Homo-oligomer: A and B are copies of this chain.
């Protein structure tokens, strides 16, 4: 069945059922018949070049986006110019959920490399959710996962030290690369030290120093944006009992 469908431009256009990202994306866990209905959902694809915005804070909310290729960052900015990266997103992850509440996007989504997204018109999603059993549930799970992730970041920002934050970040990246079939131990970061710092609530110099320290200690090998994890157990230990031995 599957092999008999030739890969054509129109075939590529919107088929969730043909997409190799199903297991990471919105359609996860849905039945074949449900999946085929999903193909109606994705309106179009949209390419976003490196450094370009997928959407901006203040833009009217119309659709959510599934990342088909590439990666993004989201950030919020204060009037005084300060900004904070609120997340990095990889293939299969969903962007734009922040817009539902006020019908206006509340953050900026910027491509870290040339990327492509599937546009999922929100009105159509709500409509189809009424009919397709699994879709509603899956969508709720995606939103809930985002909330849980954010709580994790709050924990990191509120109660971890610089090196712990970076270790947690690296382990998280590794785990997400693994889920996408890439090496768990060796990967290429698409973001700058400054962006990592912003996400982790640190200055870029502190991030750089922490990388160097990890390298000295044999935990990782760093070469610019190329990272090799040499001792993941060591990184994990670093997070857990930084305060160990002091009895508090």
A-to-B contact residues, CB < 8 Å = 76, 78-80, 82-84, 86, 97-102, 106-107, 126, 129-130, 136-137, 140-148, 150-155, 157-159, 198-201, 239-244
The answer to whether B241 and A101 have CB atoms under 8 Å apart is no
The answer to whether A154 and B101 have CB atoms under 8 Å apart is no
A82 to B153, CA, bound (A): 14
- Closest B residue to A132 using CB positions: B130
A151 to B150, CA, bound (A): 7
- Closest B residue to A200 using CB positions: B158
- Closest B residue to A150 using CB positions: B150
A243 to B80, CA, bound (A): 8
- Can you name 14 extra interface pairs (CB under 8 A) apart from A98-B148, A157-B157? A80-B240, A84-B155, A86-B151, A97-B144, A98-B147, A100-B140, A101-B145, A102-B148, A130-B136, A136-B136, A146-B147, A150-B154, A154-B154, A158-B200
Give me the 4 closest cross-chain CB pairs, A-B, nearest first: A100-B144, A158-B201, A150-B150, A101-B144
A145 to B102, CA, bound (A): 8
Which residues from B are CB-within-8-Å of A129?
129-130, 136
Which residues from B are CB-within-8-Å of A82?
159, 243
Min CB distance A99 to B, Å, is: 7
Which residues from B are CB-within-8-Å of A130?
129-130, 136
Are A98 and B157 also in contact (CB < 8 A) when A79-B240, A126-B136 are?
no
Which residues from B are CB-within-8-Å of A100?
140-141, 143-144
Complex partner residue of A84 from B144, B147, B158, B239, CB under 8 angstroms? B158
Min CB distance A231 to B, Å, is: 19
A106 to B146, CA, bound (A): 12
The answer to whether B244 and A98 have CB atoms under 8 Å apart is no
Which residues from B are CB-within-8-Å of A99?
144
Jot down 24 A-B pairs with beta carbons below 8 A, ordered by A.
Answer: A76-B151, A76-B154, A79-B240, A80-B243, A80-B244, A82-B243, A83-B159, A84-B154, A86-B151, A98-B144, A98-B147, A100-B141, A102-B148, A106-B148, A106-B151, A126-B136, A126-B140, A130-B136, A143-B144, A150-B154, A157-B157, A158-B200, A159-B198, A159-B201
